[in-house]
Structure 1
Amino acid sequence: MGRLLATGAAAVAALLMGVGLIGMTVGDFRLAGFSFLSASLVIYIRETRLIDAQ
């Protein structure tokens, strides 16, 4: 179960990075910044909580 959650968190982080890139492309920098910040938090939680849970 831990590996499934860690993989899901990685997929969410990748999705948020994509949303951030799209936001930068269309000029919506608030969306881009929020997406990059959210992706950073998901990566942090994945590395500190979900990887250690295995």
Structure 2
Amino acid sequence: MADQLDDYVNAAARALELPLDDAWRPAVRANLEVALRLAKLVDDFPLPDDAASAAIYSA
């Protein structure tokens, strides 16, 4: 998965035309790894089929 994350970071930077200094790549990758772990927690959380969506709140 390590190579896939590096490939994704490179592809995203190219697609966004975002210059990415090599010194920042480890930090970008680390943040992506954290975001993916958090997303997996949300995705893996079991919800019953009849769960209702939350109301929309505004301040």
Higher Rg of the two aligned structures: 2
TM-score by length of 2: 0.40
TM-score by length of 1: 0.43
The structure with the greater share of residues assigned to helix is: 1
- More relative contact order, 1 or 2 (CA 8 Å, 6+ apart): 1
